[in-house]
């Protein structure tokens, strides 16, 4: 997934379960298999096979169906802002190959270049509404030529799936590139403190105490690059124009009942600008970072103790 994955697993609730160090190794293998099968950068992945198939209806594994469903759910949750059908647009913007291990361009330089500020808008065609997942038949249906990018929703789905697999351990954290699932009865008594990194300075600007559910952080500093014409681009696109969005925000953190929803809320916030972000984060709370570096807490600010509802659970 082009991201660092971190696991913290404490004692099991049942004596016959694997020890924590064994459980982390099992989940490491699961995540590596998950990433291999859903990568858009591996020609042999299930996702690439789906996108390359010219048939309207394609057989798909349970994992691929869950990933596609998660993308469609995020589009529905965001009213089309987080659109899984922007594969061609993200490749045209300069993200056709993995940026894993590549030094990102300077966010400060990108902001100094004075990009025009605008918020994203959903594409009127709503291509994502044409995607259908049939669990009974084990298929995905979409118009031929519509490519699907699981993107950030895949990380949130992975975090929630591993959290579900670790549900019989006393306390655990699953961090998939900033999409974090927290759980376990022990976390109710001793919440995890999740720090938020400033996208410009790298310093910790706030810590949320989380005892269950999801928390996600997204920033423009992680995947930003220079195009051949010297302009800067990043991975958050306006579905309407297909171009990177400079909304006035460079970072967002969201809390939610699941990592997938938290991931989706961060993207809504960054695509919507300050006013839209405040609306998106009002229910569960979070944090936004403005272009000038100012940090703003949004919504509820008490200790977060929510029960994870694993939207888009993957087998």
Domain boundaries, the chain: 5-298
Instruction: State the pTM of this model.
Output: 0.93
Hey, which of 94-103, 214-223, 303-312 has the most confident mean pLDDT?
214-223
Buried b (16+ CB within 10 A) or exposed e, 80-92: bbbbbbbbebbee
Question: Phi/psi at 165 (nearest 5 deg)?
Answer: -70, -20
Which of 258, 257, 292, 256 has the alpha carbon at shortest distance from 274? 292
**Cα–Cα distance for residue pair 68/79, rounded to 1 Å:** 16
pLDDT score of 97: 81
Mean pLDDT of 116-143: 96
Task: Report long-range pairs for 135-142 (Cβ below 8 Å, ≥24 apart).
Answer: 135/65, 138/59, 138/60, 138/61, 138/62, 138/65, 139/57, 139/58, 139/59, 139/60, 140/50, 140/57, 140/58, 140/60, 140/64, 140/65, 140/68, 141/56, 141/57, 141/58, 142/56
pLDDT band at residue 303 using 50, 70 and 90 as cut-offs: very low
Beta bridge partners of 193: 209
On the question of pLDDT at 302 being above 80, the answer is no
On the question of pLDDT at 308 being above 50, the answer is no
**Cα–Cα distance for residue pair 62/60, rounded to 1 Å:** 7
Share of the chain above pLDDT 90, in %: 87
Strands 179-183 and 224-226: unpaired
pLDDT score of 162: 98
C-alpha to C-alpha distances, 236 to 79, 89, 240, nearest whole angstrom: 16, 11, 12
On the question of pLDDT at 216 being above 90, the answer is yes
Mean pLDDT of 79-102: 89
Residue that wins the pLDDT comparison between 76 and 313: 76
pLDDT score of 295: 96
**Token pair belonging to 123:** 């594409």
Say which DSSP state 129 is in: G
Mean pLDDT of 133-152: 94
Fold designation for 5-298: T-fold (3.10.520)
């Amino acid at each position: 997934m082009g991201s660092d994955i971190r696991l913290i697993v404490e004692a099991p609730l049942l004596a016959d379960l694997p020890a924590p160090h064994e459980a982390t190794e099992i989940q490491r293998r699961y995540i590596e298999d998950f990433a291999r099968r859903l990568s858009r950068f591996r020609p042999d992945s299930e996702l690439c096979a789906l996108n390359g198939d010219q048939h309207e209806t394609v057989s798909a594994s349970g994992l691929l169906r869950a990933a596609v469903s998660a993308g469609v759910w995020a589009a529905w949750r965001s009213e089309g802002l987080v659109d899984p059908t922007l594969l061609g647009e993200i490749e045209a913007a300069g993200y056709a190959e993995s940026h894993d291990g590549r030094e990102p361009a300077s966010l400060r330089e990108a902001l100094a270049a004075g990009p025009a500020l605008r918020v994203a808008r959903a594409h009127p065609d709503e291509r994502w509404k044409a995607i259908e997942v049939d669990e009974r038949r084990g298929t995905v249906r979409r118009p031929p030529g519509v490519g699907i990018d699981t993107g950030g929703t895949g990380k949130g789905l992975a975090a929630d799936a591993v959290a579900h697999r670790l549900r019989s351990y006393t306390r655990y954290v699953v961090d998939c590139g900033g999409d974090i699932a927290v759980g376990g009865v022990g976390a109710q008594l001793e919440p995890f403190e999740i720090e938020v990194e400033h996208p410009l300075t790298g310093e910790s600007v706030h810590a949320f105490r989380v005892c269950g559910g999801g928390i996600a952080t997204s920033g423009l500093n992680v995947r930003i690059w220079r195009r051949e014409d010297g302009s800067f681009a990043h991975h958050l696109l306006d579905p309407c124009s297909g171009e990177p969005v400079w909304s006035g925000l460079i970072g967002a953190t969201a809390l939610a009942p699941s990592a997938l929803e938290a991931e989706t809320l961060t993207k809504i916030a960054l695509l919507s600008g300050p006013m839209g972000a405040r609306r998106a984060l009002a229910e569960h709370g979070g944090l936004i970072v403005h272009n000038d570096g100012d940090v703003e807490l949004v919504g509820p600010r008490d200790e977060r103790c929510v029960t994870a509802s694993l939207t888009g659970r993957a087998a």
